[in-house]
Amino acid sequence: MDIRLNDEQTMIRDTVRDIARERIAPRVAEIDRSGEFPWDVVDLFRKHDLFALPFPPEYGGLSGSALTLNVAIEEVAKVCATSALILAVQALGGYPLMIAGTDEQKARLLPDLATGAKLSAYALSEPGAGSDPAGMETRAERHADEYVITGSKLWITQGGIADTITVFAKTDPNERATGVSAFVLEDAQHLKGFAANTIHGKLGIRGSNTAELHFDEVVVPAANRLGKEGDGFRIAMKVLDRSRPGVAAQALGIAQGALDYAVGYARERKQFGKAIAEFQGIQFMIADMEAQTAAARAMVYWASQLIDDKSPDVGHFAAIAKLLAADTAMKVTTDAVQILGGYGYVNEYPVERMMRDAKITQIYEGTSQIQRVVIARDLLRN
């Protein structure tokens, strides 16, 4: 496993790091406090062409490299998990098109995602079908050259603000996985019969828009179906193979941000006449935090490189990266709070927010338990 960033990737990493520290970091506490979606961060990403990172140059993108994208997500997540999620979800919403779109669909829809002129979302989960997406109940019925979608989706990141939403629905209700199809909704917020209710009261990523979507006979042109009828579940699983390392990169950034802050605090905080960094108990905690974060980074970068190499092993290692990075983020941020003691428990210091933000990485894009199922099934099947 030898993953080294090339000159372009190193330049992008350093540029994003500067943007995150100088422009986003001063806003983070207010984003978390208010719970309002940070449109100023969207504008910042547009200005610096960061939305172009997930997309290939032929559609207005900068690279299309998963490794390049995930390095950028990591850097943003070091200071703000909410802002990192905006970039990750722009990629997530574009992946179905890149994987299964026709040349016409890609040429028509991807350029606006690459510039950030339009934001995207990915609508798979439902109230009764989270870890079991094949059990979804949202329906799409064919009528001549159109489909009529009826049902609901839950926990959809950017669902209440996205212009372009990929929606998965049953075209054959008598089947499970083979009955699912995928559709792209354009100008989604203004479609007749479409409604998005923002979910409030979240533990973390409070500035991210999370919504419940309702479809009351929403009409979608048949030309906006991705692939054939029944291809939806296969597309969804391929998308998750690509998107899970992005969430892992978010978790990795959260962990690194918490570790960096804890190390700085330990150097300055004095107890019993000396810095707490001089106590072996604190040193052991910091050493474990560093080892866990470094291991997670190696796996996240490796899974990302496998995506770029179009390796058949992507699904397996994407699940490992997601599992390892998410669990690391939770452990490292919890330890960071412990190192800060009482100060870690109040929002004047960032580690309590980081701990709250870390938790969701163990849940979305497949829970840590689902990642273990994927990993074990791969091993036992082979």
C-alpha closest to that of 336 among 349, 322, 323: 349
The answer to whether 200 touches 35, Cβ cutoff 8 Å, is: yes
Eight-state DSSP code of residue 210 = E
Eight-state DSSP code of residue 162 = -
The answer to whether 220 touches 182, Cβ cutoff 8 Å, is: no
| Tokens linked to 11 | 């330049």
C-alpha closest to that of 325 among 296, 350, 289: 296
From the list 74, 75, 352, 365, the catalytic residue is 365
The number of CA neighbours under 13 Å toward the Cβ of 305 is: 13
Residue 310's CB: how many other CB atoms inside 10 A?
7
The answer to whether 257 touches 77, Cβ cutoff 8 Å, is: yes
Residue 373's CB: how many other CB atoms inside 10 A?
13
The whole-angstrom separation of Cα 320 and Cα 375 is 7
Buried b (16+ CB within 10 A) or exposed e, 179-189: bbbbbbbbebe
Q: Specify whether 365 is catalytic.
A: yes
Beta bridge partners of 207: none
Residue type, 23: R
| Cα separations in angstroms, 124 against 90, 121, 167, 263, 355 | 15, 10, 6, 39, 26
For 186, the 3-state DSSP assignment is coil
Residue bearing tokens 């049953």: 170
| Catalytic annotation, residues | 365
